[in-house]
Chains A and B, each alone.
Chain A
Amino acid sequence: MTTKIKITINEKQIEVAEGSSIVDAAVCAGVIIPTLCFHKDLCVAGNCRVCVVEIAGQKRLSAACATPCEEGMEILTNSLKVRNARKQIIELLLSEHNADCTLCYKNGNCELQKLASDYKIMTQDFIQLAPLRKYQIDHYSPSMIKDDSKCIRCQRCVRTCAEIQGVSALTAAYKGDRMKIATFFEKPMNDVVCTNCGQCINHCPTGALVERNYIEEVWDALANKDKFVIVQTAPAVRVGLGEELGFEPGTRVTGKMVAALKRLGFDAVMDTDFSADLTIMEEGSELLMRLKKVLVDHDPNVKLPLATSCSPAWIKYIEHMYPDYLDHLSTCKSPQQMFGALVKTYYAKHFNLNPENIVSVSIMPCTAKKFEANRPEMHDSGYRDVDYVLTTRELAIMIKQAGIDFLKLDDRSFDQIMGASTGAGVIFGATGGVMEAALRTAYELVTGREVPFENLNIMPVRGMEGVREASILIENPLPDWSFLEGIELKCAVAHGLVNVKSLMDSIVSGESQYHFIEIMACPGGCLGGGGQPIPTNPEIRRKRALAIYAEDQGMPLRKSHQNPEILKIYSEFLTEPLGEVSHHLLHTHYTPRERF
């Protein structure tokens, strides 16, 4: 039991849990205190100072985000003293800021802009400092753009990269007026340990860190009569997109999203869930093959645990941080890249299209997928497998630009022959989902029976705990798999690279012995990806996760190996998992990188 204390906020007496911050307490009193450097995902910094409030008996104002309530505290959040100070702080921020809002990518979804608007800052009395500096925009990364002239030094990105991702590609450098957010030796973003996860973008309140957008390129392709433009949509997009277009967090908008994509003019609207199911077929087979090679053949060159490979930020992370462990990665490409390789081969052949005229677009909750599509090895179709990657946010922008009234759209369904999916493909969007999908299929393949969990819901791998473990005992396997009799298949799931680091360290030290680990770089998995709507926070992630599992529950088919289009592609094109065509199109290799 937490002790309750009494405090007064703007003359209203309330009871709050001891130790809660004034910002949180104010919410209980129906008062919203403006914040900038504060973010629910991050530790408190208390550096922007816009949240200052007056506490009776104190001459100085206090930062509401950083001040715990104490018994009997009398707090004023809107006194003249507070208002004057707060307004002046906003003026200061703007005086240091390159506030060309109409030319800014974040125009309309910027926390600084909102504050300026709420407080009606209509004068520029202070000297404008931004023009006195020489700012250079870093647009070298295929995933993101960093513009220091729009940075308010709130360090949300720094805390994100350190606390959520454990990467610290961005740090605060220099002091005084020269203080800035910088990379190692101020190298460009594409030349440092950055994983392109985009979490810093998602947590940045301003336009200082944004995704590199490919909206105009996609419009151009759509307008080009000679091009056949195919789009794939990742599982997490359908539970996030609605937030940008007027729906509550956690609303599933799959049908409306498909309808909107068709209205935008895409020639075929298909589903990354399809290739997620395909990933399960390939990766599940790879897992069983590795188990056999280790347990039966005692092949020293085959490594366990097998680690999933569908999160490109995780891939870049392990390439930098654990280059000696690349053999543990599944050779499977991510669902996006599997899809891309098939679009310009299998799909083109089936519909008799010239792959040269196909433009392959993907809608992803992720900025690292932009980097991934740009990797030199992702040309197995003979062309660039995925031409443009748009985030959930960019798709929302296109829908708005096209004047589509999203709320009123009728549901449509995905096109064939790479549009069918199962619940297993859908849950790829949540942490633990790949593990759950893989177990549903692999267990059945080995035993001929369904996984021993009610309604196929493997609850131990679900949830938001940073690292989760599960194990399944294999009993009475089919004859082919008799070597697995009595084996307890040990699995672990980690999301958020800071948690991934602790899992990897326990594997490196030999402390943990797993057979299979699922890694997603972003907190909550893709549903909390760097390309998802802003804001993303613990509550919103929970809602999106519920939506993902509801979508799974509502699907007629919930196991990847039941997907009819998967059966079809194996019989008509790929022949078998890990077969020669698969090997060529669906699998890849990795590159060790420097730690800095």
Chain B
Amino acid sequence: MTPGYDLKRVDFIFQDESDWKEILQKSLGRPSAELINELISSELKGRGGAGFPTGFKWKLAADELNPIKYIICNADEGEPGTFKDREILTKVPMKVLTAMAICGYVVGSHEAYIYLRGEYFFLQPALNKAIQEFQATCQELNFDFRINLFMGAGAYICGEETALFESMEGKRGEPRNKPPYPTSFGYLGKPTVINNVETLAHTYTIFKYGAKRFYDLGVQYSRGSKLFSVSGDTPKPGIYELELGMSLLDFVHDFGDGDTKAVQVGGASGFLVPQKRFAETTIGFQGKLTGISLPTGGSMMLFNSSRSMYNVLDNYLEFFREESCGQCTPCRVGCQQLLNGIKAVKRGEKNALYLDKLLRLTETMQYTAKCGLGQSVANSFSSIVENFREEMIY
């Protein structure tokens, strides 16, 4: 392999978990402020989408005075084509449970939930068994902590944290207004820490090896490693744990089929990066391009020259049109307009300038939609339309 093109494979997440009891016991013996500081200095950011610093999230919840607090593990994993959270829960469930318990210890919570994607019902027996074993250990350690499994309703939007709370409360899965944020007003109105499965798994690494081992990976603002779901036109699709801060060019070198014309970074709600931008694009929380985010799946989808970018966009928009919860105007109507709009341009019913009106619309959606779903439709739309305008028209 050419020097410089070397992607750093990392193996933390799926590393053996048999030491979980030891990690749990060790952590419960440390002052919670120390654990929070460990987490803050690791600079771990949430792997579920928004990239919020995990240590600060725990601290915010720890500072709340309410005697009742909740810990929730977000395992709704709704992004099409990603299944890394499923892998984690299958292979190293004890890591996630341990991390939840440590979080409970840190913030002062005794009740936790795993919100499991409805389609993952087959994980239920194994998870329940793991939870049982885990609870027994908690009892042995005299640590009052209960973990419950909650089966999701099967809508993509229920992965959004506040919609998830609504759904757990038996209501329609619609995102709430923010503020208030979950750390002060979450599930049942109580302070709640909600973390992605992978985020929790990383905290295990941090509590095991210390913040430095994690911090030393990655680049400024994007520390540590991340699971990526690689798919599309690649000879080796699958899940890979990679160091953050890699250049997209290096990534394509490693995973591409030699004919990569673009990569969709971050799934439907992420950005499309065309070949000419591969070199200048860094994969992390603040990439050189437009600040590339890493939504849920850390999905990397490669497209070769045989792919129609129009079809790709059409697919994404159809997804959003259906998966929008439908409550807010910019997202509900905006998605319909975008989808119908590109179809109309393709059919010649609207002229090419209509694409500019649609681009302005995505800007409005980004500024005004109520939650991350509607706000992020602009990402794929504008990056695809701006880079492959002619494919939209002809």
Q: Which residues of A contact B (CB under 8 A)?
A: 44-50, 52, 59-61, 63, 66-68, 81, 84-85, 88-89, 92-93, 95-96, 125-127, 129, 152-153, 155, 171-172, 174-179
Majority DSSP secondary structure for residues of A touching B: loop
Is the Cβ of A176 less than 8 Å from the Cβ of B323?
Answer: yes
Give the interface centre of B329, B332, B360 by most chain A CB atoms within 10 Å: B329
By a CB distance below 8 angstroms, the chain B residues around A179 are 324-327, 332
How far does the alpha carbon of A48 sit from the alpha carbon of B341 in the complex, in Å?
Answer: 22
Residue tally, chain B, CB below 8 Å to A: 38
Q: Is the CB of B327 within 8 A of A172?
A: yes
A93 with B357: CB separation less than 8 A:
no
19 A-B pairs besides A47-B328, A84-B360 with CB distance below 8 A are A44-B177, A46-B328, A50-B329, A59-B367, A60-B367, A60-B368, A60-B375, A67-B177, A84-B364, A88-B360, A88-B364, A92-B361, A127-B337, A127-B341, A155-B327, A176-B321, A176-B325, A177-B324, A178-B326
B340 within 8 A of A: yes
Question: How long is the Cα–Cα vector from A264 to B337 in the complex, in angstroms?
Answer: 49
* A63-B177, A127-B344, A153-B327 given; A96·B364 CB < 8 A: no
Q: Is the CB of B335 within 8 A of A175?
A: no
**For residue B333, which residues in chain A have a CB less than 8 angstroms away from its CB?**
92-93, 95-96, 129
* The one of B321, B344, B366 that contacts A60, using a Cβ cutoff of 8 Å: B366
Chain B min CB distance to A504 (Å): 23
Task: Verify if B157 is at the interface (C-beta below 8 Å from A).
Answer: yes
Distance in Å from the Cβ of B333 to the closest Cβ of chain A? 4
Among A68, A92, A153, the most chain B Cβ lie within 10 Å of the Cβ of A92
Closest to A92 in B: B333
B364 and A89 within 8 A (CB): yes
Tell whether A47 pairs with B329 under 8 Å between CB atoms, given A92-B334, A171-B172, A176-B322: yes
Interface 0/1 of B317-352, CB less than 8 Å to A: 000111111111110111111001100100000100
Q: How far is A68 from B369 in the complex, measured between Cα atoms in Å?
A: 18
A49:B368 contact, CB within 8 angstroms: yes
| B67 close to A (CB within 8 Å) | no
Q: A47-B370, A95-B337 are in contact. Are A175 and B177 (CB under 8 A)?
A: no
A84 CB to nearest chain B CB (Å) = 7
In the assembled complex, B131 has its CB within 8 A of some CB on chain A: no
Task: Please name all residues of chain B whose beta carbon is closer than 8 Å to the beta carbon of A129 when the two chains form the complex.
Answer: 333, 336-337, 340
10 shortest interchain CB distances as A-B pairs: A179-B326, A66-B177, A92-B333, A47-B327, A46-B177, A176-B322, A88-B364, A61-B367, A176-B324, A47-B328
Give the secondary structure class of B's interface.
helix
Binary interface encoding of chain B residues 357-394 relative to chain A, with 1 for a CB under 8 A from any of its CBs, else 0:
10011001011111000010000000000000000000
Q: Does B88 contact A (CB under 8 A)?
A: no
Minimum Cβ distance to chain B for residue A409 (Å): 43
Rounded to whole Å, the gap between the CB of A47 and the closest CB of chain B is: 4
Determine if B326 and A49 form an interchain contact, defined as CB atoms under 8 angstroms apart: no
Q: Is the CB of A172 within 8 A of B177?
A: no
Nearest Cβ on chain B to A52's Cβ, whole angstroms:
5
Q: How far is the CA of A198 from the CA of B326 in the complex (A)?
A: 25
- Hey, which chain B residues are within 8 Å of A60, CB to CB? 366-368, 375
A93, A95, A126, A155 — most chain B CB neighbours (10 Å): A126
Is there a chain A Cβ closer than 8 Å to B125's Cβ? no
Q: How far is the CA of A93 from the CA of B157 in the complex (A)?
A: 22
Q: How distant is B53 from chain A, measured CB to nearest CB, in Å?
A: 19
Contact B324 A92 (CB under 8 A): no
Say yes or no: A48 contacts B364, CB within 8 Å: no
- How far apart sit A396 and B282, CA to CA, in the bound complex (Å)? 66
A-B contact pairs, 22 of them (CB 8 A): A46-B177, A48-B328, A52-B368, A60-B368, A63-B370, A68-B179, A89-B330, A92-B330, A96-B336, A125-B354, A129-B336, A129-B337, A152-B329, A153-B329, A172-B327, A175-B157, A175-B322, A175-B326, A176-B324, A176-B335, A177-B322, A177-B335
Nearest-Cβ distance from residue B78 to partner chain A, whole angstroms: 13
| A510 CA / B18 CA spacing, docked (Å) | 57
Chain A residues whose CB sits within 8 angstroms of the CB of B138 once the complex forms: none
Q: Are A177 and B332 in contact (CB under 8 A)?
A: yes
Nearest CB in chain A to that of B354: its residue: A125
Across the two chains, which residue of chain A brings its CB closest to B172?
Answer: A172
What residues of chain A lie closer than 8 Å to B179, measured between beta carbons? 67-68
B360 & A153 in contact (Cβ 8 Å cutoff): no
B10 within 8 Å of A by Cβ? Answer: no
For the complex formed, measure the closest distance between the CB of B342 and the CB atoms of chain A, giving whole angstroms: 11
Contacts of B340 in A (CB 8 A): 127, 129
Q: How far is the CA of A393 from the CA of B88 in the complex (A)?
A: 62
Most buried by A among B328, B335, B361: B328
- Which residues from chain B contact A84 at a C-beta distance below 8 Å? 360, 364
Q: Which residues of A contact B341 (CB under 8 A)?
A: 126-127
Name which residue of chain B comes closest to A36, CB basis. Answer: B329
Q: Assuming A85-B364, A127-B344, is B369 touching A49 (CB within 8 A)?
A: yes
Measured between C-beta atoms, what is the minimum distance from B269 to chain A in Å? Answer: 15
Provide the residues of chain A in CB contact with B155, threshold 8 Å: 175
Complex: how many Å from CA A92 to CA B335? Answer: 10
- Chain B contacts of A88 at CB under 8 A? 360-361, 364
> By the criterion CB–CB under 8 Å, are B344 and A177 in contact?
no
A48 touches B329 (CB 8 A): yes
Q: How far is the CB of B144 from chain A (nearest CB, A)?
A: 33
B residues less than 8 Å from A177 (CB atoms) = 321-322, 324, 326, 332, 335-336
Nearest chain A CB to B62 CB, angstrom units: 22
- What separation, in Å, do the CA atoms of A64 and B337 have in the docked complex? 25
| Chain B residues near A61 (CB-CB < 8 A) | 367-368
Residues in chain B near residue A174, CB distance under 8 A = 326
